[in-house]
């Protein structure tokens, strides 16, 4: 290990089955960073791609060994694990994350860095005009509002991964050992001076979104359970409210019976109410399960990801 200089800027890019888009990414990313006139390093994390992505990354690392490093996972551990693995290898004062699909234009990195230099330690982003489907746009707006209310993590646009983090924030994140996490929210909780800027947003250059609706819902559960206990408290309050209401109903029925004698009525209303309560009960159990499952995953303490190889020539 000889002289390892600290670059001004580290860029972390998770890659999962992006073979169609990678060459365009390289063609735009490197010139954009060279144009900044600052020392930088790029860390690609291959998240167990099943296509030729790993080979393309390895070739790129050969082409620009001075500024490129590649981490190869032995399987698919998810975008956020890939970013966390990248974080552990960063050396820069400012760390920028970027998607490999070119939905976040690399040319915006300069603006992020400029904003960081104004003294912020976390720069989030808001996509100027989103190029996603109507459904994706509205689904995320709803989720955003709900999530913000529950977790108190203020992110106007949680979906955009083009973000900048200060060294201290990244160091703190590196000390976390969370199995299910959401990097921007984690960073927000540790940051002292967060801010947001607007960035451009483009259509996916090639390939398809790796997030199905199911994965999107899972991610939001991660966010809510990972950053708040409010759903559990909400359940307790709902329980109290329901108990009080049914107590009141019982008193009412008793009085009615004393005044008017026994009546057999409203059997089906009873059914409806029972099933409604059953739904509430199952939902709360499911919610509890969401927490418990995550606790279990955390407690098992398996490695969060396994690195197969690191392609790195910068240490020579």
Residues contributing to the site for ligand UDP (CB under 6 A): 14-16, 18, 47, 76, 78-79, 82, 99-101, 103, 159, 209-211
Among Mg ion, ligand UDP, none, the one that 166 touches (CB under a kind-dependent 5 to 8 A) is none
Q: How many other C-beta atoms are found inside a 10 Å radius of the C-beta of residue 293?
A: 13
Nearer to ligand UDP, 79 or 180 (CB): 79
Backbone CA torsion sign across 19, 25, 30, 36: negative
Strand partners, 44: 13, 70
- What are the phi and psi torsion angles at 306 (to 5°)? -120, 120
Least Å from the CB of residue 3 to Mg ion: 37
Stretch that binds Mg ion, among 36-44, 70-78, 96-104, 226-234 (CB under 5 A): 96-104
Q: What CA–CA distance (Å, rounded) separates 32 from 34?
A: 6
Least Å from the CB of residue 59 to ligand UDP: 17
Least Å from the CB of residue 246 to ligand UDP: 44
Least Å from the CB of residue 184 to ligand UDP: 12
3-state DSSP helix/strand/coil percent for the chain, to nearest 5?
A: 55, 15, 35
DSSP code string of 59-104: HHHHHSTTTEEEEEESS---HHHHHHHHHHH---SEEEE--TTSSS
- The one-character DSSP state at 314 is T
Cα 162 → chain centroid: 12
Nearer to Mg ion, 13 or 186 (CB): 13
Nearer to ligand UDP, 211 or 296 (CB): 211
Q: What CA–CA distance (Å, rounded) separates 269 from 255?
A: 19
Nearer to ligand UDP, 73 or 190 (CB): 73
Nearer to Mg ion, 99 or 108 (CB): 99
Among Mg ion, ligand UDP, none, the one that 7 touches (CB under a kind-dependent 5 to 8 A) is none
Least Å from the CB of residue 76 to ligand UDP: 5
Question: 30: which residues sit within 8 A by CB, 6+ positions away?
Answer: 42, 64, 67
101 binds Mg ion (CB under 5 A): yes
38-34-100 Cα angle (round to 5): 110
Nearer to ligand UDP, 167 or 204 (CB): 204
103 binds Mg ion (CB under 5 A): yes
Least Å from the CB of residue 128 to ligand UDP: 16
Nearer to ligand UDP, 132 or 312 (CB): 132
Among ligand UDP, Mg ion, none, the one that 298 touches (CB under a kind-dependent 5 to 8 A) is none
Least Å from the CB of residue 99 to ligand UDP: 4
Least Å from the CB of residue 156 to ligand UDP: 16
What is the signed CA dihedral for 106, 111, 116, 119, rounded to 10 degrees? Answer: 180
47 binds Mg ion (CB under 5 A): no
- The one-character DSSP state at 1 is -
Nearer to Mg ion, 205 or 280 (CB): 205
Phi-psi category of residue 208: left, alpha or beta, with phi > 0 → left and psi -120 to 50 → alpha = beta
Q: What CA–CA distance (Å, rounded) separates 5 from 36?
A: 18
Within residues 242-301, the interface with Mg ion by CB under 5 A covers none
Catalog residues that contact Mg ion under the rule CB under 5 A: 99, 101, 103
């Amino acid at each position: 290990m000889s002289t390892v200089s600290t670059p001004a800027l580290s860029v972390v890019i998770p890659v999962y089955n992006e073979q169609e888009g990678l060459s365009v990414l390289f063609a735009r990313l490197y010139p954009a960073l060279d144009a900044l006139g600052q020392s930088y390093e790029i860390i690609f994390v291959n998240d167990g791609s099943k296509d030729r992505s790993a080979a393309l990354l390895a070739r790129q690392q050969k082409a620009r060994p001075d500024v490129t490093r590649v981490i190869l996972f032995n399987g698919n551990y998810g975008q956020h694990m890939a970013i966390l693995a990248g974080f552990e290898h960063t050396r820069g004062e400012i760390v920028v994350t970027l998607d490999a699909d070119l939905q976040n234009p690399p040319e915006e990195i300069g603006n992020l860095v400029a904003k960081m230099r104004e003294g912020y330690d976390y720069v989030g982003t808001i996509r100027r005009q989103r190029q996603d489907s109507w459904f994706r746009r509205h689904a995320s707006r709803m989720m955003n509002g709900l999530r913000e209310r529950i977790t108190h993590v203020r992110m106007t646009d949680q979906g955009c991964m083009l973000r900048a983090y200060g060294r201290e924030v990244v160091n703190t994140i590196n000390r976390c050992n969370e199995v299910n996490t959401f990097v921007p929210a984690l960073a927000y909780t540790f940051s002292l001076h967060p801010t947001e800027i607007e960035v451009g947003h483009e259509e996916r250059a090639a390939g398809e979104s790796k997030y199905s609706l199911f994965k999107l819902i899972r991610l939001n559960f991660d966010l809510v359970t990972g950053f708040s206990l409010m759903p559990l408290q909400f359940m307790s309050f709902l329980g109290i409210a329901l108990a009080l209401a049914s107590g009141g109903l019982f008193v009412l029925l008793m009085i009615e019976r004393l005044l008017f004698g026994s009546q057999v009525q409203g059997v089906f209303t009873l059914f409806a109410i029972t099933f409604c309560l059953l739904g509430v009960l199952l939902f709360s159990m499911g919610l509890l399960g969401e927490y418990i499952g995550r606790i279990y995953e955390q407690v098992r303490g398996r490695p969060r990801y396994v690195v197969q190889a690191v392609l790195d020539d910068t240490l020579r």
